[in-house]
Structure 1
Amino acid sequence: MSHLHISRTAEIPDELRVARARSTPGLGPRLLFFSGGSALNGISRRLKAYTHNSIHLMTPFDSGGSSQVLRRAFDMPAVGDLRSRLMALADESDLGQPDIFALFTHRFPVGASRAKLEREFAALLDTTHPLMDAVSQPMRSLILSHLRAFAAHCPEGFDFAGASVGNLILAGGYLTHDRALEPVLFIMSKMVAVQGTVRSIIDSNLGLGAVLADGQTVQGQREITGKEVPPIGSPIRELFLTRDGVRLERNAVKLPKRNRRLIERADLICYPPGSLFTSVIANLLPHGVGRSVAQRAVPKLYIPSLGADPECLGMDLPDQVTALLAALRADAGQDCPADRLLTAVLCDKRGLRDADVRRIANEHGLPCVGLNLCGGAAAARYDPVRICEALVSLV
């Protein structure tokens, strides 16, 4: 081990480092996460007490729920997970913007008639809606400019049921800023005083595809993850990016320089809990990600999800580590040492099997660190405080 000297019985967290982080979160460490979905939101919300400098590189490939309605209507990347992470990291102190937060997190009712949904949207536009009326100037005008851009491009019969107002504002900002996500994510971050950095791993409207062990090809994040549709029936062998349903070569999609710089400055890199393929490995597909990770000499941790992941059919913990390393080596090079891409697997000790520890050590030369990360009797969910304190301690 070259960057992370810890054993399975390591004493974590380090109380001094944790206390220092809590006393000055504005100077806290740059913890970088490759993630998607909502699995990390609870941890992210608690992380604000330890650092305001966390970095979240996220997938824009969601093809389910209200995000897919926007993708079809505007030919744009998925923004729902990005919006929810921004809200998780928003300043919730007295210095924050609770009125804007309430507006951004509001959803249109699912069971309402189309006429009622359209009336509510009209009320937002003419500022008679209580949530819009509560937002003070000049923020209200800026938000309205994005919402009106959305309205100007909105196709007739658009289904508002279940839509997040924040997603509609992001969509309008995307259209306003020449179909680019980065500017509107920056603006929304400022509106709610986000205590961290949230970026899409790429700024393109792409999809996901997977080759299964039985030779079948499945396209679409929704179909791969098996949460809104029946789960896949064969293990995933390869994940790839698509444009308009056509598979792309890996080198065709490059990591933006602004995101490469974030990786280069990270104090710790984490592959966090979440759907292994569509939330974590999907972030590793753009050309340059694996190479950038390999060049950074900092702790690099994998925290596996608890419970069953429908994407990991037939996979145990060593298989998941192998899949993660394979995705990184596809860019960093097949001869890249494992500890340049991953330095330890961080697990709740109650679910860590000795056989898995030995196999990961034998196959990859990597340690598994077993800690009490769940707390109490709830072994099916990580305790956000314990996760945050473990990560801060390892910087």
Structure 2
Amino acid sequence: MTAMSQQGETTLPDEQCLDRALAHPETGPRILFFSGGSALNGISRRLKAYTHNSIHLITPFDGGGSSQVLRQAFGMPAVGDLRSRLMALADETLQGEPEVYALFSHRLPGQARNDALAREVSAMAAGQHALVAAIAAPMRQLLQGHLAAFLLRAPEDFDFRKASVGNLILAGGYLGHGGQLAPVLEQMANMVEMRGTVRPVVDETLHLGALLRDGTWLIGQRQISGKEVSPISSPIQSCFLCDESGARPQVDLPEANRKLIESADLICFPPGSLYSSLIANLLPRGVGQAIARSRAPKVYLPSLGTDPEALGHDLSGQIDALLTPLREDLGGAAGDEIPAGTFLTHLLCDSSEAQAEDTAARHGLHCLSHPLRQAEAPRYLSERVARMLVWLAGDFRA
């Protein structure tokens, strides 16, 4: 399937599928990502040139930043990662709605007086702010309605500092649609002519919890990620979905998302925080079953640089952590007997990754090694990764 150079790096033997995808991205492959955070946004933006059919199942369990302020105020799922990916997939040409994009991307300053920021948002809801006034009807009225719904229900002490206006709009739409994210996400996707599909993996208000190897229990993504509080000092042993009290309800994958997984031309476990951005999406019941039923390539693209959540996990350990909830979904206590290839077929990594070939062999995976890393930063070259994924998906479709 894959040609190898003398240096052991993967080469692309046939790029006709890439040329076809560039010429007709509206018919491009259905590449599905389990994701969260911003690590995949650069690749997502570049992927739009090759396919308008990528699928992004996003974790709504974030517990930090402006999403956390909204969660505390309304007891709702986190919307920040959904908004961020929606913007990454928006049409950035003149065919889209740049005024809507500008409003959704606007973030309120962190140093201003809170009462002044509240008045600014009120002016947006009234259509008296320049960012809103620039948007044509009827979109303008719809956005004003969402902001008004947010303001009507917001507590008097709501902290507007550093708030994303896009998050406020999504929150207002969520509240106005009886506590459902799907309708407002579809509205916003249509407004910015989104080139792909973005959905929460589950539309529920939950948190991510973790048990560390030293016996410590943590509740909340911000306690795990090491971004707003001190990084964890003991490796994560397991993680789970829970409510604020730590109780663990049964969480089922929605039927619509199951169909998306099973119909994908390629499934990718992409870069991002190991547990809070990736594995959190694999915890609802039915995710492992859906992935196992798929016959498409299933690719792990590990993060570059240092991930505080991956403390104590080498590359093989990261794969084991990814496989654990998927195996449990199929086999319970005996799940560790299920072959890795049921859920994962390829390891795609930069050619500098020394553990790649041995790790792939240990798990029975195809190792795809290619120069994918930027020269001066721990980031992937978005164009090269996009081409690799489109090529793999196209090879499967052929």
Distance in 1, Cα, partners of 2:152 & 2:314: 49
Q: Determine helix, strand or coil for the equivalent of 1:52.
A: coil
Match of 2:168 in 1: 168
Distance in 1, Cα, partners of 2:340 & 2:60: 27
Aligned residue among 324, 327, 330 for 1:326 = 324
Aligned residues: 386
How big is the shift at 1:322?
1.1
Distance in 2, Cα, partners of 1:211 & 1:360: 27
How big is the shift at 1:119?
1.9
Distance in 2, Cα, partners of 1:381 & 1:43: 10
Kindly provide the CA deviation profile for residues 150-192 of structure 1, in whole angstroms up to 9, marking residues without a partner as x: 1110111211100011111100110111101111111111111
Match of 1:347 in 2: 349
Match of 1:206 in 2: 206
Distance in 2, Cα, partners of 1:341 & 1:359: 16
Match of 2:396 in 1: none
Distance in 2, Cα, partners of 1:89 & 1:359: 33
How big is the shift at 1:198?
0.1
How big is the shift at 1:13?
7.3
Tell me if 1:225 matches 2:230. no
Q: After superposing the two structures, state which structure 1 stretch, 329-338 or 210-219, moved more.
A: 329-338
Match of 1:283 in 2: 281
Q: How does 1:209-358 map to 2 (within 5 A)?
A: 209-248=209-248, 252-333=250-331, 334=335, 335-350=337-352, 352-353=353-354, 355-358=355-358
Identity of aligned residues (%): 56
Kept after mapping to 1: 8 A contact 2:2/2:11: no
Q: Determine helix, strand or coil for the equivalent of 1:269.
A: strand
Match of 2:119 in 1: 119
Question: Which residue identity does 1:365 align to in structure 2?
Answer: G
Give TM-score scaled by structure 1 length: 0.95
Distance in 2, Cα, partners of 1:212 & 1:6: 41
Kindly provide the CA deviation profile for residues 176-226 of structure 1, in whole angstroms up to 9, marking residues without a partner as x: 111011111111111111010000000010001001111111111001011
Kept after mapping to 1: 8 A contact 2:41/2:85: yes
Distance in 1, Cα, partners of 2:371 & 2:172: 44
Distance in 1, Cα, partners of 2:3 & 2:77: 40
Kindly provide the CA deviation profile for residues 86-145 of structure 1, in whole angstroms up to 9, marking residues without a partner as x: 000001112100000001111111100122212211211221110000000010011111
Q: Determine helix, strand or coil for the equivalent of 2:11.
A: coil
Match of 2:370 in 1: 371
Q: Determine helix, strand or coil for the equivalent of 2:10.
A: coil
Distance in 2, Cα, partners of 1:6 & 1:163: 48
Q: Determine helix, strand or coil for the equivalent of 2:368.
A: strand
Kept after mapping to 1: 8 A contact 2:253/2:286: yes
Match of 2:26 in 1: 26
How big is the shift at 1:283?
0.2
Aligned residue among 374, 380, 383 for 2:381 = 383
How big is the shift at 1:298?
0.5
Q: How does 1:140-159 map to 2 (within 5 A)?
A: 140-159=140-159
Kept after mapping to 2: 8 A contact 1:260/1:292: yes
Q: Which runs of 5+ in 1 are unaligned?
A: none
Match of 2:189 in 1: 189
Kept after mapping to 2: 8 A contact 1:207/1:245: no
Question: Which residue identity does 2:174 align to in structure 1?
Answer: Y
Q: How does 1:63-82 map to 2 (within 5 A)?
A: 63-82=63-82
How big is the shift at 1:5?
6.0
Q: Determine helix, strand or coil for the equivalent of 1:247.
A: coil
Kept after mapping to 1: 8 A contact 2:2/2:13: no
Question: Which residue identity does 2:272 align to in structure 1?
Answer: G
